[in-house]
Amino acid sequence: MLDIQLLRNQPELVAAGLARRGAVIDLTAFEALEAQRKAVQTQTQDLQAKRNTLSKQIGMLKGKEAKGEEVAAVMAQLMSEVAGLGDALKANEDQLAVLLPEVDAFVARIPNLPHDSVPGGRDESGNVEILRWGTPPVFDFSPKDHVDLGEALGGLDFECGGKIAGSRFTVMKGQMSRLHRALAQFMLDVHTAEHGYTEVSVPYLVNPDSMFGTGQLPKFEEDLFRIERADGSRLYLIPTAEVPVTNIVRGEILDASALPLKFVCHTPCFRSEAGSYGKDTRGMIRQHQFDKVELVQIVTPEQSWDALEALTGHAETILRKLNLPYRKMALCAGDMGFSAAKTYDLEVWLPAQNTYREISSCSNFEAFQARRMQARCRDVKGGGKPRPLHTLNGSGLAVGRTLVAVLENYQRADGSIVVPAALRPYMGGLEIIGG
RNA sequence: GGAGAGGUGGCAGAGUGGUCGAAUGUACCUGACUCGAAAUCAGGCGUACUGCAAGGUACCGUGGGUUCGAAUCCCACCCUCUCCGCCA
């Protein structure tokens, strides 16, 4: 959520920032709504103040009456005076009860402002390559894609996934399952042992408040799987561990000296993929369910930009240790997600597609999510007031897509797969799958 | 699923209609004493909105209601704990 003060005081600045990402804001509507809100709110509070003082006087008179003083007449006078406020006050409060949520709803649907360092651009084509690492492998045979490789090895079964659940679901078996598990374990171990993250395990179903906190709601409900419960409440399957993990600090005021908090979390992720019909229908690239190891940092406002570089580096480390060629992209303003102030995508080389595909997305949200979550920090020494903290997250990495990258980059002419050296300790020393 | 108890400030814990945004203790911050610390003493110490300020308003699990006035009474819901049942 944007700082509503910024929206009130510098609306042109907000509009300009939003324009960079192709978003339009109706400032006239906002200002009209705000003017109305302000008028009704001050009037309501004046009436409440009047009621409160009069009622207090009645209270004092009650005390005197108890001591035997004759105050009934004055009291009756006051009571009728207060009663006269009743209707006007009720009307104002009712009006306010409509206006305040309207203002909230308006602000809740505005995306974050892109950071100054974010390149301009409308879509994917405006993204800027920051670096390239590794060399795409050269094969003396025609490389297969992960579907052909996986099916031939008996490790990937898309038909079976379709039978059990539907399209965009996969069944893995044998060494393929183990390789998948090894990848997740490896990532968790690197991030905890070498990068200082604390591993957390969290709910895979979350409530609407949590989805609001990280920005999935109210605008992107159609991207989520929803569970309706008998009592009328609802839960959502997490589309990323970002949601439950970031919401750990929702509603909290943290001692600034306790920051940064660094969490790593392995979960399945569930996405409805509404609107992506026909896109990546083959294989494991785009699934309704996939595993991901997520990095989340909770930091002070001063720390967040350094933290974004560090966090992205942590994700890159996994690719490097697996010796997978990748490139690092700075997303342009028009291609960033709703809540992000800046995002780096890491794209891994996929030989069969002869291109780089997203395998990680690392973002600094600045105070955008923190404001929605009312997550704040306080400098105890300075005696300062609570202020919104900053949040970041990034995939480190998407496990399913990493599996795809390993299969395709490490394949041999006979269809067997070389197990990357870093994973062998997790595979009981196995060097070749299907050899 | 059945029965019961309870949700108040960082924590503990009072408060059952009226100067209650809330006693007290503890933690924490500042100052005094001290070479320093402990102990002691004095003061401060929730969040948000609003106002130049003084101040005002809201918040005692959440949402409604009763009342001139609600932490306190009524209704619904949520959560926690205990016991029983069921169960990975």
- How many angstroms separate the CA of A416 from the C1' of B21? 71
Q: Is the pLDDT of residue A284 over 60?
A: yes
- How many angstroms separate the CA of A187 from the C1' of B10? 36
Write out the two tokens for A221: 């409900």
The mean of the pLDDT values for chain A is: 92
- How many angstroms separate the CA of A239 from the C1' of B84? 39
Which residues, 6 or more positions from A337, have their beta carbon under 8 angstroms from its beta carbon? A215, A343, A361, A363
- How many angstroms separate the CA of A388 from the C1' of B8? 26
Of A273, A358, A387, A424, the active-site residue reads A358
- How many angstroms separate the CA of A65 from the C1' of B44? 38
| CB atoms inside a 10 Å sphere around CB A398 | 27
State which of A27-31, A105-109, A118-122 shows the largest mean pLDDT: A118-122
Give the nearest nucleotide to A376, CA to C1'. Answer: B47
Residue of least CA–C1' distance to B51: A42
Of A278, A13, A402, nearest to A5 by C-alpha is A13
Residue A383: pLDDT band with limits 50, 70, 90: low
A327 is catalytic: no
Of A21, A168, A401, A408, the active-site residue reads A401
pLDDT digits (tens, 9 = 90+) for A155-170: 999 999 999 999 999 9
Contacts 24+ apart (CB under 8 A), A77-83: A78/A54, A81/A54, A82/A51, A82/A54, A82/A55, A82/A58
A34 is catalytic: no
Give the nearest nucleotide to A5, CA to C1'. Answer: B49
pLDDT digits (tens, 9 = 90+) for A6-51: 999 899 999 999 999 999 999 999 999 999 999 999 999 999 999 9
Q: What is the pLDDT of residue A153?
A: 97
Of A181, A250, A286, A320, the active-site residue reads A286
Assembly ipTM:
0.81
- pLDDT, average across residues A362-368: 96
Give the nearest nucleotide to A62, CA to C1'. Answer: B18
* Count of helices and strands (H, E) across chain A: 12, 18
- pLDDT, average across residues A382-402: 88
Beta strands in A249-389 (DSSP E): 253-255, 261-270, 289-299, 326-330, 342-350, 355-364, 376-378, 387-388
A8 is catalytic: no
Distance of CA A165 to the CA centre of its chain: 27
Q: What is the pLDDT of residue A435?
A: 78
Q: What is the pLDDT of residue A231?
A: 74
Are A344 and A312 contacting, i.e. CB atoms less than 8 angstroms apart? yes
Footprint of strand B on the protein (CB under 7 A): A 5, 8, 41-42, 44-46, 48-49, 51-56, 58-60, 62-63, 79, 82-83, 86, 97, 231, 233, 253, 376, 378, 380, 383, 385-386
Give the nearest nucleotide to A50, CA to C1'. Answer: B56
Of A304, A361, A363, A395, the active-site residue reads A361
Write out the two tokens for A296: 């989340």
- How many angstroms separate the CA of A246 from the C1' of B51? 36
Which residues, 6 or more positions from A249, have their beta carbon under 8 angstroms from its beta carbon? A261, A298, A373, A375, A389, A391
Tell me the sheet residues that pair with A421.
Answer: none
Are A294 and A242 contacting, i.e. CB atoms less than 8 angstroms apart? yes
H-run or E-run covering A206: strand A205-206
Give the percent of chain A with pLDDT over 70: 99
Give the percent of chain A with pLDDT over 90: 72
A122 is catalytic: no
How many Cα atoms are found within 13 Å in the side-chain-facing hemisphere of A95? 17
- pLDDT, average across residues A91-117: 90
Write out which nucleotides of chain B lie closer than 7 A to a protein Cβ. 18-19, 28-29, 47-50, 56-58, 64, 68-69, 77-78
Q: Is the pLDDT of residue A384 over 70?
A: no
- How many angstroms separate the CA of A376 from the C1' of B40? 36
Q: Which of A1-10, A306-315, A400-409 has the lowest mean pLDDT?
A: A1-10
A424 is catalytic: no
Would you say how long chain A is, in residues?
435
